[in-house]
Every structure is written in C-alpha cells, then in structure tokens.
Amino acid sequence: MFEVYKKELKELLRDKKTLMFVVALPVLIFPIIFAVMAFISSQAALEADQKVNTYVIINGEYAQEFTDKVFYHKSFELYKGSKAFNTIEDLKAGVTAGDIDMGIYLPSNAVKTLDGGEQSKWQVVFNDAKSINFLFKRVKELAQEYSDVLQADKLKSFGIEESTHKSILNPIEVVKVDTADKRENLGEKIGGFLPYLLIPLVLMGATYPAIDLGAGEKERGTLETLLLTPITRTELVLGKFITLLTTSIASTTITVVSMGGWVAVALAFADLEFIKTAFSTLAVTDLLMIFVLLLPLAAIFSSLALAISIYARTFKEAQNYMAPLSMGVFFPIIISIMPNMELTAKTAFIPVTNVALAIKDIIKGTVDYTFVGLIFLATALIAGALLAFCVKWFNREDVLFR
C-alpha cells in the first residue's frame, strides 16, 4: 500500500499541472485574484462616491433652501443643456437618454402643504439598476435636513419650545446593548465566508489528482501493469486514496498558511486595528480544530473522486463527471449561510453543512465542543463507508474495464 502511495506521489510531484493546482494556486494565484477583486471593488465604490452627477429640479423655487443645498453639494452639477424638463415623464426620458443622471420633481405646493397638515411628496428620478449608486441616499439626506428645519419652524409656530421638540417627535429612544464581542460580530460575517474558500479547496485538491490516478492510468495503459503486481486491489485502492487525501489536505493547508501570510502583510500596511483586536483571541487550537474537521471531509471527497475516476473510461470523461460533484458540494455550503441556520444536534449530521457551520462557530468563538465531536464522528463514518464502497467498486471487472 505504501509503495503505491510513494509511486503515485512521485508521479504527481513530477506533474507540473498538479503542482500548479496544489501549490501555485493557493500560494499566489488565489491571493492575487482576491486582491484584484478587492481593488476593483474599492475603485468602483470610490469612483461612484466621487462622481459628479448632472441633475434637474422642477419647481425648485418652491423649496429654495433645499434647491440651494443640492446646488452647492459636491456630488451634483446643475444641467446646462438646451433640453427643457417640465414633467416627470421628461425627467424619465432624460435619465434614460443619458442627458441627466437624476431629476427631482417638487410639487408646486411643496411648503404650503405643511400648513394644511398634509405631507408633501417629492419624487427622485434616477437609474437604480446600477450596482453602486449614492444618488438617492444623498438627496434623501438633504431632503431630511430641509424637512427638519420645516418641522422645527412648524412646532415653534404652535408655541412649543425648541428644547422639547426632540421628546415630542421621538418620545422613546431604543438603544442597542450588544452582548456579542468584536470577535463574535466579525466572525459571524467572515466565518460564513471561510467555508466557501476552504471546502472547495479540499475538493479541488482531491479531484484533479484523482482524474490522473484513475482515468489517467486507463488511458496510459498502466492500470493493467499495476493489477499484475503482487499487491491486493484493496491495498492498491488504499494507496491511491491516501495519495488523494495527502494532496487534498496539502492544498488546503498551503492555502490557509498563504492567506494568513498575505493577511499579515496587509495588516502591516493598513490600519485595520479592529480586525487585529477581534481575532487576537483566536488560538492555535481553534485553527487545529478546523484542520481536524476538514480531515474526514477530505476523505469523503477523495473517496468520491477516486470512485468516479475509476469508473470513467477517459481523462475527459472523468472531468465531465467531476463537474456535478463540484456543484453538489456548494449546495450544502449555501444551506449553512441561510437565515437561522445554526449548529445543533440535527445539523451536526448534515454532511458538509455541519463542517461549514462548525467553522463559523469556531471563528466566532461560540463553538460547542460536543457538536464538534458529533460532526467528526458523523463525517468519519460517511468517509469510511465511501472508502469501503470505493474498494468494492475497484474490485469489479465491469468497472475497471468498461
């Protein structure tokens, strides 16, 4: 068994493609991809925040103070073209044609309605389909400032002192007292993202080498040679399985270490003190616990990938079979981030979902070690059953020589 393991491991290490998937991707490519994505997102948000938007206000003279606020705001520029805008439909057409970025329609009785005890309805026309858009938020803030002034003036006209305005308008103030610490708050957000990174990497570390160990052997014609060696088929399968388990765990370990190194570099050059404070209590034992939970999961993926590869006739056919497996892994991860999904005695037995929930709780610092034991036991039992199936699968002639 160990001779097969050494032989397969040497062949994988000689394969440049395997080294790229197991080492190069985790160490360099993934961090670069995430860095580029973060840079592009931040640049897009910055450009949207600094963009000067062309606008038109209809009936702006009926709320001159608000009109002036918009005019002098750094994010807005008054339309200076020749087109006339007199109705809501004109504003819609202007935004659609790209002549203006935003139109604001004020009723002609914008201020007088307050004296009659009515609410004035102001309409903001813009394209809300854009991914990042601060237009409505900024206009609403300016309108709220103007509304507060009108509100205060109206209360004063009723003889109500300014010192009592706040208690009348907001008689009850609800204050949030959060019992969660910084690590739990940040872990709730980041902890749900980590399974999306770690679990697919565990799968990828097993699937690509598995294609070569099964279907690749068939195409090269070396499978028959292996079967003629004085070694049982069970030992042959176990040797290949341990090889896949090694590459799967190695890929994940390298990724975690690499990401940790890149994050440390980023924190050294950026002022992210709140992240340092939140995760200062994250112990080495927590990271080891995540690693231990990923071990039986890697065994499950290795068994499935090897069984699929053994069944496939060719390398290409094996690749086609791996695609549904990859899709099937994402669904349990998605379930783990659904609202009100928590690690319980029931969810601890749902494959993949249980590990994803446990990783989130470990990052938050709220994990129940009893559930961790249940997850490890349940995942290990499934891995053992799949490995037994893989051994039986390999012993069938109609599978090996399809």
Secondary structure of 249-268 as H, E, C letters: HHHHHHHHHHHHHHHHHHHH
Long-range CB pairs of 10-15, under 8 A, 24+ apart, other chains included:
11/212, 12/209, 12/212, 12/243, 12/247, 15/212
Q: Give the pLDDT of residue 131.
A: 46
CA dist., res. 135 & res. 140, Å (int): 9
Query: What is the pLDDT at residue 273?
Result: 62
Average pLDDT of every residue of the chain? 82
pTM comes to 0.68
Q: Is the pLDDT of residue 133 over 70?
A: no
E runs forming strands in 22-70: 53-58
What is the reported pLDDT for 234?
A: 85
pLDDT for 31 equals 66
- HEC readout, 140-162: HHHHHHHHHHHHHHHHHHCCCCH
What pLDDT, on the 0 to 100 scale, is given for residue 327?
85
pLDDT in tens, 371-396: 999 999 999 999 999 999 988 888 88
pLDDT at res. 116: 66
Q: How far apart are CA 222 and CA 297, in angstroms?
A: 29
Output 90 or 272, whichever has higher pLDDT.
90
Q: What is the mean pLDDT of residues 210-229?
A: 80
Q: What is the percent of the chain with per-residue pLDDT over 70, rounded to a whole number?
A: 84
In the chain, the percentage of residues whose pLDDT exceeds 90 is 20
pLDDT of res. 54: 92
Q: 17-26, 315-324, 329-338 — which is least confidently predicted?
A: 17-26
Specify the DSSP class assigned to residue 366: -
- CA separation for the pair 205, 22 (Å, rounded): 6
Q: What is the pLDDT of residue 68?
A: 93
Phi, psi of 144 (to 5 degrees): -65, -40
Neighbour tally for 212: CB within 10 Å? 20
Q: Per-residue pLDDT tens for 1-45?
A: 767 777 777 777 676 766 676 666 666 666 676 677 767 877 777
The answer to whether 252 and 298 are in contact (CB under 8 A) is: yes
Residue 196, strand partner residues: none
Q: What is the largest CA-CA distance in the chain?
A: 102
pLDDT in tens, 152-191: 888 888 888 888 888 888 888 888 887 777 777 777 777 7
Q: How far apart are CA 55 and CA 70, in angstroms?
A: 9
| CATH assignment, 53-169 | 3.40.1710
**Position 240 pLDDT exceeds 50:** yes
pLDDT at 271 over 50: yes
Contacts of 329 (CB under 8 A, 6+ apart): 199, 200, 203, 301, 352
- 81 against 132, higher pLDDT: 81
pLDDT value at 222 more than 50: yes
Q: Residue 100: its pLDDT value, please?
A: 93
99 or 41, which is more confident: 99
Out of 52-56, 95-99, 212-216, pick the least confident: 212-216
277-315 tens-digit pLDDT: 555 666 778 888 888 898 899 999 999 999 998 888 888
When pLDDT is cut at 50, 70 and 90, the band that residue 104 belongs to is very high
Calculate mean pLDDT across residues 242-257. 82
What are the domain boundaries of the chain?
A: 2-32+182-400, 53-169
DSSP state of 212: I
pLDDT band at 340 (very low <50, low <70, confident <90, very high): confident
- Residue 265 has, within 13 A of its CA and on its CB side, a CA count of 8
What is the reported pLDDT for 378?
A: 92
